[in-house]
Amino acid sequence: MADRNTALRAAPLDGRLVRSAHVEIVPADVASRIVLRARPEAIAPLSRALGVKLPEEPKTSAKAKASRLAGRIALWIGPDEWLVVDPNGADLMALCSKVKKLHSAVDVSHRNTAILVAGEAAQSVISAGCPQDLSPNIFPVGACSRTVLGKAEIVLVREDAHVFRVECWRSFSDYVFAFLADAARDAVI
């Protein structure tokens, strides 16, 4: 029965799982996210406020250094655009609101959802639908990119040699998950 005082949260991929000998595909935990847009002069104060140095190198990401912020990442999306993800549900909007330098922060915690693809075949599975070169020398650990998977837009992060985070919009997540699952049927590595 619906409780009028506490609406429960239902993520779009709750309960989904694919596991094979070479790859595991699971929905990531819910997280808070913001899209950050800023000019160069705001990068330093925003980095301080968020506890993570916003990367300025294309297709790179940065992690928060402090252990209490563990898991917080900032992904370079464009020359003035970042996607900041915090798996501990921090109020990123509030952190940014303290920064006076000109910027735009928009809460997209629920717009995106994420899927973790892990295992020896992870890169191969993503390569079924992503035309980018994902070989480790080109797309090393920490690399990120706004790209496509099949017919859906994704943001791809290589979290570890064999672990990728696939961020996509909520309503595309069923397609993205099903695509990854279909690709995982083919065990080519």
Partner 1 sequence: MSGANRIAGAGRLTPARSLRFSFDGELYTGLEGDTLASALLANGVHLMGRSFKYHRPRGVLGAGSEEPNALMSIERDRSRRQPNVRATVQEVFEGMSAVSQNRWPSLAFDVGAVNNVLSPLFAAGFYYKTFMWPKRAWEKLYEPVIRGTAGLGVAPDESDTDHYSNRYTHCDVLVLGGGVCGLSAALAAAQSGASVMLCDEQAQFGGALAFETGIRVHNEDGFAWAAQTAQKLSAMDNVRILNRTTAFGYYAQNFVGLVERVTDHLADPDPALPRERLWQVRAKKVIIATGAIERPMVFANNDRPGIMLSSAARTYLNHYGVAVGTKVGVYTANDSAYEAAFDLKRQGVAVETIVDTRDAPGEGLLSTAADLGLEVLTGQSVTDTKGARRVSAMVVRPNGGGAARTIPVDALIMSAGWTPSVHMFSQSRGKVAFDASTQRFLPGDYVQDCVSVGACNGTDDMPAAIEEALAAGSNAARATGSKRSPKTKVSCEGAGNWSGGMSGAAAGAGPDTTVKAFIDFQNDVTAKDIRLAVREGMHSIEHVKRFTTNGMASDQGKTSNMHGLAIAAEALDREMPQVGLTTFRAPYTPVTFGSIVNHARGKLFDPTRRTPMHYWEEEHGAVFEDVGQWKRAWYYPRVGEDMHAAVNRECRTVREVAGLFDASTLGKIEVVGPDAARFLDLIYTNGWTKLKPGRCKYGIMLREDGFIYDDGVVARLAEDRFHVTTTTGGAPRVLNHMEDYLQTEFPDLDVWLTSTSEQWAVIAVQGPKAREIIAPLVEDIDLSGEAMPHMSAREGKICGVPTRLFRVSFTGEAGFEINVPADHGRAVWEAVWAQAEPLGACAYGTEAMHVLRAEKGFIIVGQDTDGTVTPDDAGLNWAIAKSKPDFVGIRGMKRPDLVAEGRKQLVGLKTRNPMTVLEEGAQIVADPNEAVPMTMLGHVTSSYWSENCGCSIAMALVANGRARRGETLYVPMPDRTIEVEVTGTVFFDEEGERVNG
Q: Contact residues for partner 1 (CB under 8 A)?
A: 1-12, 30, 35, 37, 102, 104-112, 124, 127-133, 135, 138, 150-152, 169-172, 174-175, 178-179, 182-183, 185-188
Q: Which is nearer to partner 1, 93 or 141 (CB)?
A: 93
Query: What gap in Å lies between CA 117 and CA 124, rounded to an integer?
Result: 10
CA–centroid distance for 54 within its chain = 15
For residue 175, report the phi and psi dihedrals to the nearest 5 degrees.
-65, -45
Q: Which is nearer to partner 1, 67 or 131 (CB)?
A: 131
Spatial contact of 17 and 84, defined as CB atoms under 8 Å apart:
no
Q: How far is the CB of 56 from partner 1 (least distance, A)?
A: 17
Q: How far is the CB of 182 from partner 1 (least distance, A)?
A: 5
Spatial contact of 122 and 68, defined as CB atoms under 8 Å apart:
no
Q: How far is the CB of 186 from partner 1 (least distance, A)?
A: 4
Place of tokens 């596991």: 19
Q: How far is the CB of 2 from partner 1 (least distance, A)?
A: 4
